[in-house]
Structure 1
Amino acid sequence: MKKKILLVILAIIFIAINPVFAARKGAKTVEQLDEVVLESPEEQTDSIEVPQSVSITEQRAPEEKTLKEKLQDVYHLEVEKYDKPTYLLEDVFTHKFDENSIMDRTQLWAGYNGDIGLQFNQDGLSHEHTTNHYDINTINVGYDGFLKNNNADFRVMINIAPFSSRNVIQNLFADMYVATNKIPHHRLLVGHSRPPVGLEGAYGPFVLPFIARSQISRNFGTVRKLGARASGSYSLVDYDFGVYSSDTYFQEFFPGAEFIGRVDLKPLGKTDGKYGKLLVGTSMDAGHRDNNFCVIGAHVQYDYKRFMANFEWANANGYNGPSGHSVDKHASGFYATLGYMLTKKLQLLARYDEFDPNHEIDNNKSREYSVGLNYFIKGQGLRLILNYVFCQNEAAKDSHRIMLGTQILL
């Protein structure tokens, strides 16, 4: 009997202490595993599986910011780069899709650029020689969409600002295209877009240094056309080639074909910006609309820290600009711009701009001397602009223009 009782007691003690040994053995295994992980290189994964033991609440993504928090972020926003638009309410008007959708996100945005100005002739400030104006340069509303994995993107943009030489429908539809960046270093686009006719002619309205474009840009470039284009970007070269209808702003149905191409060399592209950014390029716009036309140009642009400079020249034997086709008109011009950031928000600009609208007519050149200040309150998203322009005309009276502009992007 005593032996049976002793065996029962020993069995109880063995059962009680056995989990302790098991726990110690498990702890040693974890320590060994930790040592192995620390010795291994960090592995990057596209997704992380959540353990089943984690609660549903812990699996949820961080809560989205409230509208008040997003507006506070806009108030504290600091922008140091001004080479692209900054939309102040981007977080408010951006919708992100769940992981099961082919769409990544969509963004609704709006932009305004306008100015008030005073223009007077050189012979005085009398009432009969002075004109005041308020110009709405641009009012755009856009809707951008982006597919996952960089498969494709699209834009639908309308232009609300009126234009005297075009009807409402012709002026209403601006950018309307689909594009893809799926091929490394390349972008393919089909639709209605702004082709790269020259350097400044390819700029969107919200990144221009001055209120008005240069004379060659506003005569030869700054148009939108329907077509297909392919662009590439590498460390030492960029290019953009496209074939379009020679129609502008849906005024005619395919009056002819038009080729627009631009190539930019970047000699400092391998220096990581140590010596600044240098761009040396050329462009060509050639096609047929009633008659043949051809515009060729060359440009240089340099940026280094707070300093920027650019130069552009263009020569046209007929051109197909925003005002339509200019038949057999031989025109040319050039401009040079200097800029310096006085502070992180204040930029000083100066420009010389010369244009000959018709080589067949003597003493017909127009020269513009411009000085400007840009105050970037929130980058290009909220910007104040002050421009003074002295216009020296060989075929008309000289004039002065003072313009105060405002730009806001939402």
Structure 2
Amino acid sequence: MFYIFVESKIKNNKMKKIFISLFLLIISLSIKAQSNDDLINLLIKNGSITKQQGDSLKAKSSSEKKANFVEAGSKIKLAGYTQLRYRQFDEQGKIDQFDIRRARLDIKGAISPRWNYRLQVEFANSVKLLDAYAEYKLNDYLNVTLGQAKIPFSLENLASSSKLDLIDRSQVVEALVGRGKDVIGNHSGRDIGVQVGGTIFKYEGRAFVDYKIGVFNGQGINTGDNNQHKDIAARLIFHPIKGLDISGAIYDGEANIASVNSKRDRYGFDFNYSWQNLTFSSEYIHGEDGQNTKEGFYLQTGYYFLDKKLQIVAKYDTYDADKAVSDNTSTLYVLGATYNFNNNARFQINYTIKEEQGISVDNNYAAAQFQIRF
């Protein structure tokens, strides 16, 4: 009767094979656990060891199993952070306000020296799963990531939101890398798929060229695909000297725009340089959404003071949302300061001057943000 019940529930051969394999695995593990005690009992019976010695061996075996379980559990790392933001707008009709910008819980762990995993959940505004992936590290040259994670595209996108030099990312990153103004909506620069990456070769003991390439649904987080096209993202990073990173990336995608499957392609270049207290970064991204061509870039520099507790940052940020339309460019001039109280708490303040082509609007704004980590 049991076999008939199982047979009725498992209809295809592939699922049957998986079910049988798992069943046999569980049985074999149970037999292995039991066989240790059986062997000890046999040794007691034939007089090879005393009952007291046998009981001691059983106790030791049991304690080792518990120790292994605790050791695996101790590799779990729980972290998180929250950001309280205040914004003040010069534009009439906009309301100055406080908000919880981000509130995230991050769980990382390792189930073996080669297998790691991560789960990250966002609680601000609405609860949503951001990261859910496993990573297999074969060696320095090949790592495999399976699940929902950031796509390998854009310097600012790949930077943690808890470590940005300014409160907001650039306009072009928000518009073309699966964030707030992208045609697919805000997916925090993430997607579901498979990625491989690593170091191509090393020079004088350090990585000289890194790579990452992935295949994704192309629809963002927590959702399935809605077309047969699978998106591809690839990124190549050069480290010619210590402190300097130069990168190029491409993205070949397809999205449903106005109920029509249309191309969603991007390419970009970026570099990041840090030397002592000085930082400098820049990024250019070109995108095509259907027949609409978009592009933008930014230049950003910063300098640390007070033993790197205080950082002053200036940024030039420009974005054209439609190259076919004149008077369509938005330019931001941002000045910011970040004070790090310690590794777990910091305060940021930014002032943004916004200029648009065409009709002039007084829409400058100031923002302040306090962040605490655990």
TM-score, L = length of structure 1: 0.66
* Alpha-carbon distance in structure 1 between the residues aligned to 2:291 and 2:346: 40
Determine which of 283, 288, 294 is the counterpart of 2:249. Answer: 283
Which residue number corresponds to residue 393 of structure 1? 356
Task: Measure, in 2, the Cα distance between the counterparts of 1:114 and 1:192.
Answer: 26
Q: Distance in 2 between matches of 1:373 and 1:259?
A: 37
CA offsets, 1:266-311, max 9 Å, x none? 111xxxx4xxx11111111111221122100011111101000011
Matches within 5 A, 1:127-276: 128=92, 131-148=95-112, 150-162=113-125, 172-221=128-177, 222-233=188-199, 234=202, 235-255=207-227, 256-268=229-241, 273=242
Aligned to 2:273: 302
1:109 aligned to which of 76, 79, 100 = 79
Tell me which amino acid in the other structure corresponds to 1:317: E
Letter in 2 for 1:212: D
Equivalent residues of 1:152, 1:182 under 8 A apart = no
* Higher RCO (CA-CA < 8 Å; seq separation 6+): 1
Q: CA shift at 1:395, angstroms?
A: 4.2
Which segment is superposed worse, 208-217 or 137-146? 137-146
Q: Deviations over 1:234-260 (max 9, x none)?
A: 421111110010111234435331111
Distance 1:232 1:116 in 2: 40
State the AA in 2 paired with 1:354: T
Whole-angstrom distance in 1 between the partners of 2:137 and 2:67: 22
- One-letter identity of the residue aligned with 1:329: N
Asked whether the equivalents of residues 152 and 214 of structure 2 are also in contact (C-alpha less than 8 Å), the reply is no
- Determine which structure has more spread, i.e. the larger CA radius of gyration: 1
- Give ranges in structure 1 of 5+ residues lacking alignment: 1-96, 122-127, 163-167, 319-326
Identity %: 19
Match for 2:98: what amino acid?
Y
SS in 1 for 2:328: coil
Paired residues for 1:40-59 under 5 Å: none
Letter in 1 for 2:214: G
Unaligned runs of 5+ in 2: 1-65, 178-187, 256-260
Go from structure 1 to structure 2 and tell me whether the alpha carbon gap of 1:147 and 1:133 turns closer, same or farther (over 3 Å shift): same
Match of 1:339 in 2: 302
- 1:4-153 to 2 correspondence within 5 Å? 98-99=67-68, 101-102=71-72, 105-121=75-91, 128=92, 131-148=95-112, 150-153=113-116
Q: Distance in 1 between matches of 2:152 and 2:176?
A: 11
Deviation at 1:182, TM superposition (A): 3.0
SS in 2 for 1:248: coil
Normalising by structure 2, we get a TM-score of 0.72
For the Cα contact (< 8 Å) 2:217–2:224, is it kept in 1? Answer: no
Given the alignment, which residue of 360, 366, 369 partners 1:402? 366
Question: CA RMSD for the aligned pairs?
Answer: 1.9
Matched-pair contact (CA < 8 Å) for 1:350–1:371? yes
